[in-house]
Amino acid sequence: MSLRLLRMMVSDGLLALLRGRGLTAAALLIITLTFSVSALALLAAGNLAATVELNGRPGVFRVYFGEEAPDSEAVELARRLRHRDGIASVTVVRAGQARDDFLAAFPEMSAGVDLLVDNPFPPHLEVTVADAVASARRRELRAALGDEEGVVAVLGDDLWTRRLLELARLIRRAGLAAGLAFALAATLVVAGVTRLSLATRRDEIAVMWVVGAPRAFISGPFVVEGVVLGAGGALLAWAASWGVFRGASMLAEEHPLLGFLALAPLPASSVLFLVSCSVVAGTAGALLTVHQAARAH
Amino acid sequence: MITFQGVTKMYEQGVVALRNVSFHLEKGGFAFLTGPSGAGKTTVLKLIYREERPSEGSVEVAGRDTCRLAVSQVQRLRRRMGIVFQDGRLIDSRDVFENVTFVLRAQGLALRARKERALNVLRQVGLSHRMRSLPRQLSGGEQQRVAIARAVAADPDLLLADEPTGNLDREMSVEIMEIFRRIHGRGTTILIATHDPFLLRKYRRRVLHLEDGCLTDKGVEKMAAGGDAP
Ligand SMILES: Nc1ncnc2c1ncn2[C@@H]1O[C@H](COP(=O)(O)OP(=O)(O)OP(=O)(O)O)[C@@H](O)[C@H]1O
Ligand SMILES: [Mg+2]
């Protein structure tokens, strides 16, 4: 397909959308609304997970080292961290001590623990963050801790934390499923729009057909219409989620009580997911209808 | 260029429009298709550009059996033809310029070249000043001239014209025939369906005469001699 033909299809498709403004707006609205549900679910899930991870045990991160790590490595990092901005205190929990702590809490497990050859209680640090540190800075701090040499995990773990994370995953899955379901709905909407568009241009298409216009020239603009409607809807839904994110961020800045929130916009992967769903839906909706119409010729 | 072999065309309601029609029009030929209303002239043309298929027999265009062509091949074949439809078939929502040039556009001709071409053919039919008019803003004869301009704009290998001068006065008819003659001179094969005895008299060309769906010799001399057209 030549570039010129593609350009022609795009300009014809856009022109047709412009001519049918009312219909275009209605279709866009429906697609946007449906995809917004999915976008907001993904946004909520992401932010819930981030917030939970950040606040799992308020102000305390546990920094774990590898199984083979000597205590000295933990002590050395603790020494360096104590001088760092935003850190209130650092406690070193040595390998042996971690084991003792565990046994003190669960004495009935002692037999089991004695059987273990490898030490399941590697040394770790308990890093307490200063209260004044804002949530964004906490996240940075956490990431920085994870990047330190010898560190294998940074946790702020609790049972409710895990449950909330599970909930966040559930919401995320629901958001993805909704995205797929709404893609189907968008397919039908676009198919309907294409059908109307075809009907209003039926005479024109019949003439083009009979004087030999290539199929791509005739049906291309309809596919462009479908893609634009689909992608437009998804991008508007993204914009809506961005608006919600901005609103929440502003609210969190104004109210210190909301400082615990770890807020982030929709990640690129989610945006990509929504846009691909909608583009596929738009293309499929248009092609389906155009194909039916072409068979009638 | 065109070969009909034993072509019979029966429409859905059982109307037999053509009966066992055979003829050959060579490449670069020029022929009139005549006959009374309902004799099957338009049907012959429709079979050539494959809007209809023969019920029996075969239609060959440019060496290919039109029934054996895939959709894309039919479209390609049609693009090599210029067709003037009996009912005009202009696109009502597009202006004269677009009507004349959209096939050129589909063929990838740039806007500049299309403008040049449109101006050229519209000048020949005396409508270069109406490029931006919509079909409904034109008279019947003017619309017909736009349809003719569209048919010749792409320099077709084959020109099919169905009553191209039906709405035109003698003077304009002669001018249109001059256009056809000119492109015939450049090698285009031409087949014109017409009632107009004046054209047959003035331009002594081969005549394919249809009566009630059959190709006959009867009446040809009469029509060519200027007798009453049926
Ligand atoms: N789509 C159709 N369905 C049924 N019958 C048709 C159809 N098209 C044409 N016919 C019939 O076929 C016969 C030939 O029609 P055709 O249009 O070929 O005639 P024509 O010679 O072009 O006539 P005219 O000079 O009036 O244009 C007519 O009897 C017509 O009624
Ligand atoms: Mg006719």
Residue in B51, B75, B89 closest to A215 by CB: B75
Whether the predicted pLDDT of B65 surpasses 80: yes
d(CA A249, CA A253): 6
Residues on A contacting B at a C-beta cutoff of 8 Å: 2, 4-5, 8, 201, 203-204, 206-215, 217, 294
**Per-residue model confidence (pLDDT) at position B229:** 38
Question: Which CATH number describes the domain made up of A59-156?
Answer: 3.30.70.3040
How would residue B102 be classed by pLDDT, with cut points 50, 70 and 90? confident
Q: Which residue has the tokens 């075809």?
A: A198
Q: Please tell me the predicted confidence (pLDDT) of residue A1.
A: 59
Give the pLDDT score at A101: 72
pLDDT band at B17 (very low <50, low <70, confident <90, very high): very high
* Mean pLDDT calculated for residue range B129-147: 94
CA distance B200 to chain A (A): 27
Confidence at residue A134, expressed as pLDDT on a 0 to 100 scale:
66
pLDDT at B146 over 50: yes
* 3-state DSSP assignment of residue A149: coil
Q: Do B121 and B104 form a contact (C-beta atoms < 8 A)?
A: no
Name the β-bridge partners of B82.
B159
Task: Please state the pTM of the whole predicted model.
Answer: 0.72
ipTM exceeds 0.90: no
**CA nearest neighbour of A35 among A188, A228, A186:** A186
CA dihedral A224, A229, A232, A236 (to 10 degrees): 180
Are A211 and B103 an interchain contact pair (Cβ–Cβ within 8 Å)? yes
Does the beta-carbon distance from A207 to B91 stay under 8 Å? yes
Report yes or no: A12 and A224 within 8 Å, Cβ to Cβ. Answer: yes
For each of chain A's 297 residues, which pLDDT tens digit applies? Answer: 578 788 888 998 998 899 889 999 999 999 999 999 999 999 999 999 888 877 766 567 888 887 777 888 888 888 988 888 888 888 888 877 777 776 776 666 666 666 655 556 677 888 888 766 666 777 788 888 888 888 888 876 455 666 787 899 999 999 999 999 999 999 999 999 999 988 888 888 889 899 998 888 888 999 999 999 999 999 999 999 999 999 999 998 888 778 778 889 999 999 999 999 999 999 999 999 988 877 666
- Spatial distance between the Cα atoms of B102 and B222, rounded to a whole number of angstroms: 41
Mark which residues 52-71 of B lie under 8 Å from A by CB: 71
Ligand 1 pocket (Cβ < 6 Å) reads: B 11-13, 15, 17, 35, 37-43, 86
Kindly list the domain boundaries of chain A, sorted by start residue: 3-54+162-296, 59-156
What per-residue confidence (pLDDT) applies to A54?
A: 73
pLDDT, mean of residues B103-120: 90
